[in-house]
Chains A and B, each alone.
Chain A
Amino acid sequence: MVEAVQVQLKKGVLELCVLALLSRGDAYGYDIASRLANGIEMAEGTIYPLMRRMQADGLVDTYLMESSAGPSRKYYKLTPAGGMRFEAQKTEWAAFSAAVNAILGGAQ
């Protein structure tokens, strides 16, 4: 039960987490996947369909950059629309989590 709740919670906030990560600087796929997997336990491969979706929605743009080790990397950067989406979702999340916390606190 706890596990199921966790899975549902993580799914909902994954896009918000990616937006937050990219708002602090451009990043490439492997970087995003491993940093998110460090914080929230998830299947790393999920990042790639999510990035395609966000690109199709115009939230992120990509560009290629040579890397010192291995193949050139595809970097993702926030578009202005992505930045706006981030601000809106962050506000929503703050209000939502504050409300949930208030209810949880009141239940004790």
Chain B
Amino acid sequence: MNRQDFIARLRAGLRGLPPPVIGEAVADYETHFSEAHAAGRGEEEVAAALGDPDRLARELRAEAGLKRWDSERNPSAAASAVFAVLGLGAIDILILAPILIWIAGTLLGLFIAAVAAFGVGAVLMVAGPFVIHGAPVMALLLAGLGLVAGAASLGALATIGAIGCTHALVWYGRLHLRLLRPALEPQGIAA
């Protein structure tokens, strides 16, 4: 593998990241090749010493995903962080998947319940006095208001839970990244 092959594979591995991020990463390795050339080392030798470009790309991709979650807290950034960490293979998916699915399912259920309660509460408050005859108007209004407020707080709690879970996952991924799985080993040696 020569310089061109190495850079091409690195670029391929980084595809989809913001262009400045790709540019900076590629520049690091281009400079490395230039410095090595100036020091009299051959391209093939340098490429071999650098390590597997696919694996390096996964490392850089994970780092970019985690960094994005740090700077913008939104569902898309959370998803990209989670997928980057999973793509790194940093997390034992077999162990973690059932837990993740359970947590995600519970949160989704809470969200749906919150939306439903909000709707029922709103209908009760607005249409209740006209539809349900004989019931005291004040009680209907208060009941509707209570449901709406409860739904809002349930939704907020579920959101906090989702953010907390993403945090925990990112923390766990970073821990692995730092301690266990930098692409340090030469190709072929299992971690």
On A, residues with C-beta under 8 Å from B are: 3-4, 7-8, 10-12, 14-15, 28-30, 33-34, 37, 42-46, 48-50, 52-53, 56, 69-71, 73-74
Contacts and interface: CB of A to CB of B under 8 A. Distances in A.
Contact of B38 (A14, A29, A45, A70): A70
A28 B38 CA distance: 15
Interface string B174-191: 000111111111100111
B69 to A, nearest CB: 11
Nearest to A33: B32
B49 A44 contact: yes
A48 B29 contact: yes
A97 B175 CA distance: 21
Contact of A46 (B31, B51, B67): B51
A70 B34 CA distance: 7
B178 A53 contact: yes
Contacts of B52: 43
B36 interface: yes
Contacts of B183: 43, 45-46, 49
B166 to A, nearest CB: 17
B28 A48 contact: yes
B60 interface: yes
Interface string B38-69: 11000000000111110010011001001100
B31 A10 contact: no
B5 interface: no
Contact of A56 (B29, B67, B182, B185): B67
Contacts of A49: 56, 59-60, 63, 182-183
A49 to B, nearest CB: 4
B25 A48 contact: yes
A94 B185 CA distance: 25
Contacts of B53: 45
Given A11-B182, A50-B182, 8 more contacts: A7-B189, A11-B181, A43-B51, A44-B50, A45-B29, A46-B183, A46-B184, A73-B31
Contacts of B190: 4
**Which of A15, A44, A74 gathers the greatest number of chain B CB atoms within 10 Å?**
A44
Given A11-B179, A69-B38, A42 B29 contact: no
Which A-B residue pairs are the 5 nearest by beta carbons?
A43-B51, A45-B50, A30-B35, A49-B59, A45-B51
